[in-house]
Each structure stands twice: as C-alpha cells, then as structure tokens.
Amino acid sequence: MNFYILTLFPEMVMDGLNTSIIGRAAEAGLLRLEAVNIRDYSANKHHKVDDYPYGGGAGMLMQAQPVYDAYQAVLGRIGRKPRCIYVTPQGRTFSQKDAKRFAKESDLVFLCGHYEGIDERVLEEIVTDYVSIGDYVLTGGELPAMVMVDAISRMVPGVLGNQESGSAESFEGSLLEYPQYSRPEEWRGRRVPEVLLSGHHKNIEAWRRQQSILRTRERRPDLLAQAELTDKEREWLKEGMGKRQGLAEKDK
C-alpha cells in the first residue's frame, strides 16, 4: 500500500507517521509513506504557492498550478489514476468502514489544504473523494490526513501483529468494544468481573457480547440502530433485561 501525501508541511506528516506501529509497518515494507512537498512544484521564482482570492474576501488561497504539478509527479510514478482524497471539513465524515474500503487500494493520494483552501479548478481536475474527520475546523489538512492514514494502515493485512485485534474492536458490526481488564484481580477495591476469571470461554464470549451491546446503547445509541443484533438480542434489550443488567454493572 502506497500513501502519497501532498502537503506544504512534509516533515510534520513524516515525523507523525514514522513512529510506532505505522512506522514499523513501513520499515517492514507493508506500507510506503511519501510526503510530497507542494512548494517544490511552484513555478514562481520565490516558490510562492498562494495568492488572493478573486472577488475578495479574507485570507489567501493555494494556487492550482503547484498542486496540479505535484499530483502529476505522483501520477507519473504510479502510471494510472489513483484515488485522490481531499481532506476538508466540507467532505463526508470518515468512518471505520471507509478505513477498510480504502485499505484495499494499492495507491492513495491525500491532498492537504492550507490558508483559506485551494483553487476550485484543480480540485475539480484531480479529487475523487472529499473527506472530513468531523464537524470542526483545523488549521490544515495534515492532521486529518495523518488520522486517516493511521486508521487505513491498521486495516492493511499484516500491519497489526495479532490479526484478532482488528476484528473484536469498536465499530465491528456497529458495536463498541467490551470492557477489558488485566492484573491484578483487585485494584482500589474494584474486582475484575468473575466470569473473566472462570476460564469458561463460552460464558466469557457471551458476557463480552452483552457488554458490547450495553455499552453501545449507553454511549452511542445512534450506532445501536444499525448494529447487527440477533432477534434474541433485540428481544433481550426490549424486555428490559439489558437495562437491568446495565444498571447492575454500573452499580458494582
């Protein structure tokens, strides 16, 4: 999987991503991260990449030419038209589903904007997806691009050491992950739920599933509406079983 990040701040992107799990995966050859400095493609003798917006208004805009030439340089190396994601608060909101979908691509280009944005004409020419990381405005596209590269990378086979850790996690089947505990059995008077110490794998699995459902209802009821629940589980929730258990769990 090759990531090309078109940016005015290549060090920020590379420093942020070349650590931890993503850095290791890149070293192992599972991923390739390349930050392309848009300024290197400026045709201006002062390496200028921005100018005033026609029609007036606050701030400066990134010009079309350097962005387009940086993109063309990447295109020349890939040899075909890749998916090009413009990170913008005007995009649709990125989700775990997108992370999985994008992880199937062999090349992904991210375009990071700055100042008041980018000349619309180059966006029309190269962008395939407009994607946001949430309804708030950041100073540039680098952090959102890094967030997406991280989430996509961990969905690339082999990047997570343990294949399991990608499947039981939050958002699988639109449910949040169940609570987890490690040693000691008791900490500040709080005990690890007995079922987890029982060694009874079927009961543990059932308890975790219930906890996932209860936790999703409590913290993200909007997600529960799309969750893949069995008829039995839906009935269990409707009958108030879940509610009683949820309260009991909280009162522990």
Is residue 54 part of the contact set for ligand ADE (CB under 6 A)? no
Is residue 59 part of the contact set for ligand ADE (CB under 6 A)? no
Using the CB atoms, write b or e for 90-127: b if 16+ within 10 Å.
Answer: ebeebeeebbeebbebebbbbbbbbbebbbeebbeebb
Instruction: Please pick, from the candidates 63, 132, 211, 212, the single residue that binds ligand ADE as defined by CB under 6 A.
Output: 132
Which of 134, 157 has the CB closer to ligand ADE? 134
Give me the least distance between CB of 89 and ligand ADE, in Å please.
4
CA distance 5 to 145: 8
CA distance 21 to 165: 13
CA distance 54 to 173: 47
**For residue 65, what are the contacts with CB-CB under 8 A and spacing of at least 6?**
41, 42, 43, 122
Which of 134, 161 has the CB closer to ligand ADE? 134
Is residue 138 part of the contact set for ligand ADE (CB under 6 A)? yes
Instruction: Please pick, from the candidates 141, 156, 207, 227, the single residue that binds ligand ADE as defined by CB under 6 A.
Output: 141
CA distance 186 to 201: 21
Residue type present at position 13 = V
Q: Which residue is nearest to ligand ADE, using beta carbons? A: 144
Instruction: Please pick, from the candidates 87, 122, 146, 159, the single residue that binds ligand ADE as defined by CB under 6 A.
Output: 87
Site for ligand ADE in 89-108 (CB under 6 A): 89
Whether 245 and 214 have beta carbons less than 8 Å apart is answered as yes
Give me the least distance between CB of 90 and ligand ADE, in Å please.
8
Is residue 136 part of the contact set for ligand ADE (CB under 6 A)? yes
Residues within the interface to ligand ADE (CB under 6 A): 87-89, 132-134, 136-138, 141, 144
